[in-house]
Amino acid sequence: MIMLPSEFLARMEALLGKEYGAFLAALDRPLQKGLRLGPKGQDLDLTAGFGLTPVPWAENGYTYDPDTRPGKHPYHEAGAYYLQEPSAMAPAAMLGAKPGERVLDLCAAPGGKSTQLAASMEGRGLLVCNEVSPKRARILSRNIERMGISNALVLNMHPRDLARRFSGFFDRVLVDAPCSGEGMFRKEEAAVTDWSPETVDMCAGRQLEILRSAASMLRLGGTLCYSTCTFAPEEDEGVMARFLAECPDFSPVEADVPWFDHAKPEWAEPFDSRVSAGFRLWPHKLSGEGHFLMLLGREGDTEPADLPAVKGGPVPAALSEFLRDLDIALPAGELISFGQALYLVPTGTPVLDGLKVLRPGLELGELKKGRFEPAHALALWLRTCARTADFPADSREIADYLRGQVLPGDGIGWTLITVDGLSLGWAKASAGQLKNHYPKGLRWT
Ligand code: SAM
């Protein structure tokens, strides 16, 4: 049994009454592991191989048999799926982002919910993934790349500073807030050791501040989702009641979700009966960790605010030649140089000057001595192209490729390496060999 803080246990016993025994027993059971198939993985049949069982509240979400270790599989490197525990799939599923919308994930790292929102958007519209911690923002950026997403920006901003730039800009905003993490007690030991009643109060105050920024960035008529992975009512219901009291133009969005319990407004100060529209996900009632979520609508109905958009330049001849040679059609977007690299910025992206940007869209590659060298991100976004070399997931060639070794192969020029048809990275063919261009930092050891 994990050693849980006595104040936490006393509070949960008082709140849960008869259910407390079942709750405690659930915390002592092993973590429920899950994965969500991304658009690239949806045609694979992984059910038997990974022991998949559908998660009822999330499209393409599954629990898996942990002995099968899907995180150590070439399909993972190809972005076929994202490892995400089942309850964590609920907020983005319920926010309901649609193709063509402007969507903000304000507290986005490591990227589980961003990559899920991207899947709902089917590559159309603008997804802004923001993370305040520089280190975590880099992990987020790598996950956006791995999942082959073309219409996302990755920013590293404080919500307050972002709010100054994006007033009324987004159709939907997700605030998956930093919280006291009680729902993760059986997942991360640090969640237990970092916990204290003071942490709960500090998190509640911080969440309210983040929500104020989030609210100002939502257009009239837009939808906000607030979520946490804690049971603490001072956060969850308490924060929602305080937010509703401060922001009269917001009201709860009702939803009928049979797997989740309604929130408990009577557990928090101030009491606001409308907070019962929120949901609690209990580890003793479903296969997943503890979560809270609530959807809020902003009154009114306006088009999102217009901001001056990025205007790109012409396609350099070397890039045109590369695209023609491999028969690649790029999605809509503006071509810009960012550092050494060329990026395709999603159409309608506001001018990014003054923002800390890690990824301004789809990284295409670099011009080197007049030649174009494609980026890993471009490989992962592609479904196919005119020159590919395909190998089965369990082949020696794929293991060698992921370790950075040269493969045997025909042809000449840039070649897309695919694993069972899923793009994995680049190689350059010449003289009967495929020279390895899998990024050094990602290679298997
Ligand atoms: N949504 C992410 C996912 O699905 O992978 C998980 C987000 S995690 C629950 C909360 C994030 O909020 C952390 O990455 C943390 O660094 C960030 N955070 C911490 N303090 C913050 C603040 N003051 N404003 C915004 N985000 C903050």
Distance 2 CA to ligand 1 centre (A): 25
Distance 131 CA to ligand 1 centre (A): 6
State the Cα–Cα distance between residues 58 and 94, nearest whole angstrom. Answer: 9
CA of 435 to the centre of ligand 1 (A): 39
The pLDDT assigned to 340 comes to: 87
CA-179 nearest atom, ligand 1 = 9
Q: Divide the 445 residues of the chain into consecutive groups of 10 and give the mean pLDDT of each group.
A: 88 98 93 95 93 97 96 97 98 98 98 98 98 98 98 98 97 98 86 93 98 98 98 98 98 96 97 98 96 97 90 96 98 94 97 97 95 98 97 98 97 97 98 97 97
User: For residue 275, how far is the Cα from the chain centroid?
Assistant: 26
What pLDDT score does 14 carry? 98
Q: Which residues are catalytic?
A: 229
For residue 92, which atom of ligand 1 is closest to its CA? 4
Distance between Cα 91 and ligand 1 center (Å)? 14
The Cα–Cα gap between 46 and 374 comes to 30
Residue 276 in tokens: 């019962």
Residue 173: count other Cβ atoms within 10 Å of its Cβ. 29
Nearest ligand 1 atom to the CA of 174 is 1
How many angstroms separate the first and last alpha carbons of the chain?
Answer: 35
The structure's pTM equals: 0.98
Tokens of 30: 């092993």
pLDDT attached to residue 405: 98
Q: Supply the pLDDT for residue 31.
A: 87
Q: Whose CA is nearest to atom 14 of ligand 1?
A: 109
Token code pair at residue 425: 């990275």
Q: Compute the distance between CA of residue 288 and CA of residue 301 in angstroms, rounded to an integer.
A: 36
- Interval between CA 20 and ligand 1 midpoint (Å): 29
Name the residue of 103, 107, 140, 182 to mutate for ligand 1: max ligand atoms within 8 A of Cβ.
107
Q: What percent of the residues of the chain are helix, what percent strand, and what percent coil, each to the nearest 5? A: 35, 25, 40
- Which atom, in ligand 1's list, is nearest to the CA of 206? 23
Handedness of CA 307, 162, 154, 360 (dihedral sign): positive
Ligand 1 site-directed mutation target among 132, 144, 289, 292, most atoms within 8 Å of CB: 132
Tell how far the Cα of 61 is from the centroid of ligand 1, in angstroms.
Answer: 22
CA distance 246 to 209: 11
| Residue nearest atom 16 in ligand 1 by C-alpha distance | 133
* Distance (Å) of CA 106 to CA 184, 220, 312: 20, 18, 26
Ligand 1 binding site (Cβ under 6 Å of any ligand atom): 88, 107-113, 131-133, 136, 159, 176, 178, 206, 210
* Sign for the pseudo-dihedral over CA of 70, 71, 72, 76: positive
152-155 and 357-359 strand pairing: antiparallel
Alpha-carbon distance of 87 to 3, in angstroms, equals: 23
- Measured by CA distance, the residue closest to atom 10 of ligand 1 is 178
How many angstroms separate the CA atoms of 315 and 318, rounded? Answer: 8
Confirm if 278 and 236 have CB atoms less than 8 A apart. Answer: yes
Residue showing tokens 């009154």: 299
Angle at 53 between CA 49 and CA 58, to 5 degrees: 125
Backbone angles phi, psi at 27, to 5 degrees: -65, -20
pLDDT of residue 191: 85
Count Cβ atoms below 10 Å from residue 82 Cβ, excluding itself.
Answer: 26
Say what the pLDDT of residue 60 is: 97
